[in-house]
């Protein structure tokens, strides 16, 4: 049985993210939210922001982010269900029955974790690895600034059949989980390999700050120009828009609908937050 949605809503209401995070880090007021030194990487000036309206946090330095449950999972090193219990205890709430048998919620949390780890891998490859040279050249040609690359968490999937596959396997994820998350593909003969190769990677981030999917743009050669994650336990293509996480915060009441991810990013870099693309 899944945890009732109302229970999770109440749990979040009873555990505001700023009050929970305030127990771990020093929050400083900034606009309508807060900023703090990120507890997940070492830094001297604060790059972790806490959005109290949307009830999520996001670190622009290391990419960590999510809602209050994600924060506790990371901070206390807990599974999804354990983090829910932790917060229920904290706010004196009774866990609903059968909370533990929530296999689907566990799988979703696992896929989100895989996505976030993969986003780091792609980002690190683009910004630091010798394997990312081609991606860096592409970003330079498109005149993307470093700030934009960080803001969107852009990445590069190297021209390798097992780069991400082995990276994630070393972190303890199973082939089945990687195929479910759509980052790997299984051939009819049972071989597992990277779904995205030699592509500039665009993480698709939902309103809670979760990386729910990826779009990959080919740099040259053959194949479709854009390759998107198929639907997964955490992603329904028809229900998401690229860059909505930024557009949502814009004070503009109109949305600019652009054709591709690169158009969105170029327009955003030009100073318009209220731009999105369909997937």
- Is position 60 an interface residue for Zn ion (rule: CB under 5 A)? no
Q: In whole angstroms, how close is the CB of 58 to Zn ion at the nearest point? A: 9
* Closer Cβ to Zn ion, 120 or 197, answer by number: 120
Q: In whole angstroms, how close is the CB of 209 to Zn ion at the nearest point? A: 13
Pairing of strands 155-157, 65-66: unpaired
Site for Zn ion in 17-46 (CB under 5 A): 38, 40-41
- Cα diameter, the chain: 58
Residues 6 or more apart whose CB falls under 8 angstroms from that of 264 comprise: 242, 243, 258, 275, 276, 277
Beta bridge partners of 30: 33
Q: How far apart are CA 157 and CA 161, in angstroms?
A: 10
* Closer Cβ to Zn ion, 41 or 137, answer by number: 41
- Is position 62 an interface residue for Zn ion (rule: CB under 5 A)? yes
* Binding test (CB under 5 A) with Zn ion, winner from 16, 33, 54, 61: 61
* Closer Cβ to Zn ion, 38 or 157, answer by number: 38
Quick check: 252 and 274 in contact, CB under 8 A? yes
Q: How many CB atoms lie within 10 A of CB 162?
A: 14
Site for Zn ion in 204-233 (CB under 5 A): none
Nearest CA to 262 out of 208, 209, 202, 212 is that of: 202
Q: In whole angstroms, how close is the CB of 245 to Zn ion at the nearest point? A: 17
- What residues line the site for Zn ion (CB under 5 A)? 38, 40-41, 59, 61-62, 64
């Amino acid at each position: 049985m899944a945890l009732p949605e109302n229970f999770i809503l109440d749990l979040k209401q009873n555990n505001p993210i700023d009050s929970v995070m305030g127990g771990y880090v020093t929050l400083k007021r900034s606009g309508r939210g807060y900023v703090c030194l990120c507890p997940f990487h070492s830094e001297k000036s604060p790059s972790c922001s806490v959005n109290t309206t949307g009830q999520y946090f996001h670190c622009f330095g290391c990419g960590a982010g999510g809602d209050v449950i994600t924060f506790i999972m990371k901070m206390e090193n807990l599974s999804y269900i354990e983090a829910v219990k932790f917060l229920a205890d904290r706010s004196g709430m009774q866990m609903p029955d059968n909370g533990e048998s929530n296999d689907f919620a566990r799988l979703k949390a696992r896929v989100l974790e895989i996505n976030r780890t993969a986003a780091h891998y792609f980002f690190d490859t683009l910004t630091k690895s010798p394997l990312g040279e081609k991606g860096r050249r592409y970003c330079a040609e498109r005149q993307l600034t470093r700030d934009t690359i960080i803001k969107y968490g852009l990445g590069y999937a190297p021209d390798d059949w097992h780069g991400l596959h082995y990276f994630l396997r070393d972190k303890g994820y199973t082939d089945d989980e990687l195929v479910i998350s759509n980052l790997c593909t299984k051939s009819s003969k049972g071989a597992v390999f990277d779904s995205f190769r030699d592509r500039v990677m665009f993480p698709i981030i939902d309103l809670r700050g979760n990386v729910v999917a990826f779009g990959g743009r080919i740099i040259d050669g053959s194949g479709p120009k854009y390759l998107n994650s198929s639907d997964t336990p955490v992603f329904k293509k028809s229900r998401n828009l690229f860059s909505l996480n930024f557009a949502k915060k814009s004070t503009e009441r109109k949305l600019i609908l652009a054709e591709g991810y690169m158009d969105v990013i170029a327009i955003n870099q030009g100073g318009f937050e209220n731009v999105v693309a369909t997937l």
